[in-house]
């Protein structure tokens, strides 16, 4: 059974069936036979509520915006033989929160001598705006805001690393060609090359609150934060430095 839901418009399963039953039963039997919920309806309501809480908690943790979700709930057919639970059934999660976007499992228990216990699986479908290319982005392209769009996508069962904020991608470089309509992942992007091999660079040295700079040459390509070898143009010494900005490398140790 697929049950749609979202954070603004909760959906109550079986509402139509219950109202239809009321229309036909109440005029004759209402005073003698009050409407009773079936065990299936009780289980469905408990599972829907618990699954919604798990998705809402994940949405808050991941800071999702404008998201929607629905559930396909798998209730065993043997439930049709169970009597409705006299009290509200108890429910516990049988899966880890990390599995919430793939498959959730719950145990629904009706206490008492005539009670029952049912294992229920739930498959979620969660749509969240994610970052996608507007058009084909070639390999080794520095990403700009004009290259990107936010578009809703079903992230259920997707691998981690989907980007939901365009600012995360802007300024990074594509590791391969990126197709339009497909979500961007962090693994597909890298920091741009800020220093290229044999390129003149400025070597900066920070010591005791004093910053000194000198010309140098990079001996390999480097991205922000990379440690590379550089040659001091004046002394011809080869030292190590960390790439800070385009054409700027900071020494790790002071030159002798």
pLDDT, tens only, 142-159? 999 999 999 999 999 876
pLDDT at 35: 41
Question: Which tokens go with 187?
Answer: 């693994």
For the entire predicted model, the pTM comes to: 0.65
Q: What is the pLDDT of residues 33-52, one digit of tens each?
A: 334 479 999 999 999 999 99
């Amino acid at each position: 059974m697929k049950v749609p839901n979202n954070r603004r418009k909760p959906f109550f399963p079986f509402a139509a069936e219950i109202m239809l039953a009321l229309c036909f039963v109440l005029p004759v039997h209402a005073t003698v036979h009050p409407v009773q919920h079936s065990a299936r309806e009780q289980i469905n309501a408990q599972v829907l509520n618990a699954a919604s809480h798990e998705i809402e908690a994940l949405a808050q943790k991941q800071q999702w915006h404008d998201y929607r979700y629905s559930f396909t709930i798998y209730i065993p057919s043997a439930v049709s033989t169970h009597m409705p639970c006299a009290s509200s059934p108890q429910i516990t999660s049988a899966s880890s929160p990390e599995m919430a976007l793939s498959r959730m499992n719950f145990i629904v228990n009706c206490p008492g001598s005539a009670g029952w216990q049912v294992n229920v699986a739930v498959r979620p479908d969660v749509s969240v705006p994610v970052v996608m290319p507007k058009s084909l982005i070639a390999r080794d392209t520095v990403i700009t805001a004009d290259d990107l769009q936010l578009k809703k996508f079903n992230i259920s069962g997707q691998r981690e690393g989907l980007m939901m904020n365009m600012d995360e991608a802007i300024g990074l470089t594509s590791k391969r060609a990126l197709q339009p309509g497909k979500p961007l992942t962090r693994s597909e992007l890298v920091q741009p090359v800020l220093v290229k091999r044999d390129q003149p660079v400025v070597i900066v040295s920070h010591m005791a609150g004093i910053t000194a700079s000198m010309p140098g040459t990079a001996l390999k390509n480097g991205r922000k934060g990379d440690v590379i070898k550089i040659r001091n143009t004046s002394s011809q010494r080869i030292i190590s430095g960390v790439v800070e900005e385009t054409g700027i490398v900071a020494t790790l140790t002071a030159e002798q």
